[in-house]
Amino acid sequence: MERRYMPVVIFLAAITVGIIIMVVISVVQNKPLYQKYKYGIVLDAGSSHTSVFIYEWPAEKENNTGMVQQKHTCNVKGKGISSYSANPQGAGASLQECMNEAKQKIPAHRHPETPVYLGATVLDSVALSLKSYPFSYQGARIISGQEEGAFGWITVNYLSENLRKPTGTLGALDLGGASTQITFVPQQKIESSDNSIDFRLYGNNYHLYTHSFLCYGKDQALKLSMGKKLESTLKTDPIELRDPCFHPGYKVPRTVPDVFNTPCTKELKLANENFLHVGLGNWSQCQQSIRKVFNTSICSYSKCSFNGVFQPSVYGDFGAFSAFFFVMDFLNLTSDSLATTKEKLAAYCSTPWEKIVGNHPKIDQKYLSEYCFSATYILTLLEDGYKFTSNNWKDIRFIKKIGDSDAGWTLGYMLNLTNMIPAEAPDMPLMPYGGYVTFMFFFALLILVLLLLVYLYFHRSTRTAQKDII
Ligand SMILES: O=P(O)(O)OP(=O)(O)OP(=O)(O)OC[C@H]1O[C@@H](n2cnc3c(O)ncnc32)[C@H](O)[C@@H]1O
Ligand SMILES: [Ca+2]
Residue 111 resides in a domain? no
Residue 176 resides in a domain? yes
Ligand 1 center to 60 CA (angstroms): 36
Instruction: Report, as an integer, the average pLDDT of 72-83.
Output: 92
Non-local (6+) Cβ contacts of 122 within 8 A are: 140, 141, 142
Instruction: Report, as an integer, the average pLDDT of 236-256.
Output: 89
Kindly report the protein residue whose alpha carbon is nearest to atom 30 of ligand 1: 177
What is the structure's pLDDT at 89? Answer: 86
Ligand 1 nearest atom to the CA of residue 48, by list position: 8
Distance CA 340, CA 385 (A): 20
Residue 335 resides in a domain? yes
DSSP for 141-162, please give it.
EPPPHHHHHHHHHHHHHHHTT-
Ligand 1 center to 339 CA (angstroms): 26
Ligand 1 nearest atom to the CA of residue 219, by list position: 31
What is the structure's pLDDT at 405? Answer: 97
- Residue 213 CA: which ligand is closest? 1
- Give 339-382 pLDDT, tens digit per residue: 999 999 999 999 999 999 999 999 999 999 999 999 999 999 99
Q: Is the pLDDT of residue 313 over 50?
A: yes
Known binding residues for ATP:
177-181
**Is 57 in contact with 106 (CB distance < 8 Å)?**
no
Pocket of ligand 1 (CB under 6 A): 46-49, 80, 176-179, 217-219, 322-323, 326-327, 330, 367
What is the structure's pLDDT at 47? Answer: 87
Residues 401 and 259 in one domain: yes
Residue 453 resides in a domain? yes
Kindly report the protein residue whose alpha carbon is nearest to atom 29 of ligand 1: 48
Known binding residues:
177-181
Residues 381 and 271 in one domain: yes
Distance CA 49, CA 78 (A): 7
SS3 labels along 257-270: HHHCCCHHHCCCCC
Ligand 1 center to 363 CA (angstroms): 15
- Residue 180 CA: which ligand is closest? 1
**Ligand 1 pocket test: which of 43, 44, 48, 75 has the largest number of ligand atoms within 8 Å of its C-beta?**
48
- Which of residues 444 and 172 earns the better pLDDT score? 172
Residues 350 and 263 in one domain: yes
Residues 454 and 354 in one domain: no
Residues in the chain: 470
312 — pLDDT class (breaks 50, 70, 90):
very high
Distance CA 267, CA 289 (A): 18
Residue 350 resides in a domain? yes
Instruction: Report, as an integer, the average pLDDT of 431-446.
Output: 72
121 — pLDDT class (breaks 50, 70, 90):
very low
Residues 370 and 458 in one domain: no
Question: Taking Cα atoms as reference points, which of 332, 334, 339 lies closest to residue 391?
Answer: 339
Ligand 1 nearest atom to the CA of residue 50, by list position: 8
Ligand 1 center to 409 CA (angstroms): 14
Ligand 1 nearest atom to the CA of residue 217, by list position: 3
Kindly report the protein residue whose alpha carbon is nearest to atom 17 of ligand 1: 323
Distance CA 251, CA 248 (A): 8
What is the structure's pLDDT at 304? Answer: 98
Kindly report the protein residue whose alpha carbon is nearest to atom 18 of ligand 1: 323
**Ligand 1 pocket test: which of 42, 43, 49 has the largest number of ligand atoms within 8 Å of its C-beta?**
49
Ligand 1 center to 48 CA (angstroms): 6
H or E element at residue 410 = helix 409-417
CATH number assigned to the domain comprising residue 247: 3.30.420.150
Residue 148 a catalytic site member = yes
Residues 171 and 298 in one domain: yes
Sign of CA dihedral 158, 160, 166, 168: negative
* Catalytic-labelled residue, pool 56, 148, 161, 240: 148
Residues 463 and 388 in one domain: no
Residues 399 and 460 in one domain: no
Ligand 1 nearest atom to the CA of residue 49, by list position: 8
Residues 251 and 197 in one domain: yes
The tally of domains found in the chain comes to: 2
Percent of the chain with pLDDT over 90: 59
- Give 179-197 pLDDT, tens digit per residue: 999 999 999 999 999 999 9
Instruction: Report, as an integer, the average pLDDT of 215-227.
Output: 94
Residue 356 resides in a domain? yes
Ligand 1 center to 451 CA (angstroms): 68
Identify whether 238 is preceded by a cis peptide bond (ω within 30 of 0).
Answer: yes
DSSP for 43-66, please give it.
EEE-SS-EEEEEEEEEGGGTTSTT
**Ligand 1 pocket test: which of 147, 322, 327 has the largest number of ligand atoms within 8 Å of its C-beta?**
322
Kindly report the protein residue whose alpha carbon is nearest to atom 20 of ligand 1: 326
Residues 357 and 453 in one domain: no
Residue 180 resides in a domain? yes
Domain limits for position 15: 3-29+449-469
Residues 188 and 313 in one domain: yes
Residues 337 and 460 in one domain: no
Ligand 1 nearest atom to the CA of residue 178, by list position: 3
- Residue 264 CA: which ligand is closest? 1
Residue 233 resides in a domain? yes
- Give 10-45 pLDDT, tens digit per residue: 777 777 787 787 777 777 766 555 568 999 999 999
- Which of residues 88 and 148 earns the better pLDDT score? 148
Ligand 1 center to 448 CA (angstroms): 63
